Amino acid sequence: MPLSGFDLDALAGRLPATPLTRFAPAPTGWLHLGHVLNADYVWSLARALGGRVLLRIEDHDRGRSRPEFEAGILDDLDWLGFHPDIHTTADIRAGRVSPRQSDRQPIYAAAVRTLAAQGLIYACDCSRRSLTHGTGEGGELFYPGTCRTRQLPLAPGVGWRLRIDAGVERFDDVRMGRQEQEPARQCGDLLVRDREGNWTYQFAVAVDDWDQGIDLVVRGTDLLASTGRQIRIARLLGRARKPVFFHHPLIMKSASQKLSKSDGDTAVRVLRERGWTAETVRRAARAAVGVSEA
C-alpha cells in the first residue's frame, strides 16, 4: 500500500538511491497513531526506493524509559507489518542484537571526547530555570552560555554542554524545500549529557545517525527545528555528508496541539483490543493528515 501524499517520481532526484533510513521510537510510552504515520512514511519511502529500515530504540532518557514499553513497541510493529531490516524484532527478542541507545555508551563517550578535544565541551551546573526563551522561531528554551568560561570540572552531577558558535545551517528538506537555521540563536549551547548522566536526544541522535550510516531521515515536522543543530553536531564529529531530511505532516488533536503519548485512546494496543485491524489503523493514521491511497 504505497503512500500517495507525494509524487515519488518528482522527488526521486532529491532522495538517495537505496537509502538506509530509521524508525526511532523512545520507549517512554505506547506506540500511537502518530508513530504509525511516521512508520508508514519511513517504510513506504524505504520500500519504494529499494532501501532499508534500521530500528533504533531511543532510550537515552533512562529515567523515563521502560522495558514494557519497548516490548509493546516491538509487538505493535510486528502486528502492523512494519518489519525492520536491521535489528529485526525476532533477533532483539532472542537477545542476538540490541537496538538500544543504552547499549551504546562507549560510542557516545568517544564522540564527546572528539568534541572535547576541540575545546567545545564544558561543565554546567545551571538549573533549567536559568534558561530563557530564544530568539529563534518558536521561542524555544535558550541557554545564554553562563558557564562557558567558569572551568567547572566535568564531574558526575553536572551537565555537559557543547559550545555552539554562530553560523547558519542550510539544508533542503525533500518535502518542505530550502531551510536555514541558526542553532546559536535558536537554543544556544547544547546539553549533551544531563546532570543525571543521560545523553540527550540531540546529541545521541546526531551520533547514531552518523555512526549507523543513516542517509535518509524521515520524521515529523515537530523535529524540523532540531535538524540544523543535529547537522552541526555531526559535522563537528567529522561527518562530511549530511543525511537527506524528509519532514512529514503531524496528526494534530487540535489546531495547535499534536497528538502525544498521553492521548491514550490512540494507542495501537487500545485500538487492537477494540478489534481494529492493522490495515484500519494504518489507514486511520493516513486519513488523519489527509493522505489518500495510491
- The region of 20-28, 103-111, 120-128, 160-168 touching ligand GLU under the rule CB under 6 A is 20-28
Q: Which of 107, 223, 278, 287 binds ligand GLU (CB under 6 A)?
A: 223
Our CB check for ligand GLU shows the closer of 24 and 49 to be: 24
177-208: b or e for each residue (b if 16 or more CB lie within 10 Å)? eebebbbbebbbbbbbbbbeebbbbbbbbbbb
Q: Which of 87, 219, 229, 247 binds ligand GLU (CB under 6 A)?
A: 219
Our CB check for ligand GLU shows the closer of 60 and 161 to be: 60
Q: At a CB cut-off of 8 Å and minimum separation 6, what does 183 contact?
A: 164, 169, 190, 228, 229, 232
Our CB check for ligand GLU shows the closer of 164 and 205 to be: 205
In terms of Cα–Cα distance, which of 60, 56, 40, 58 is closest to 48? 40
Site string for ligand GLU, 25-64 (x = CB under 6 A): xx-------------------------------x------
**Dihedral angle over CA of 185, 62, 248, 136, nearest 10:** -10
Minimum CB separation of residue 148 from ligand GLU in Å reads 27
Minimum CB separation of residue 125 from ligand GLU in Å reads 27
H or E segment and range at residue 273? helix 268-273
Q: Which residues bind ligand GLU (CB under 6 A)?
A: 24-26, 58, 205, 219, 223
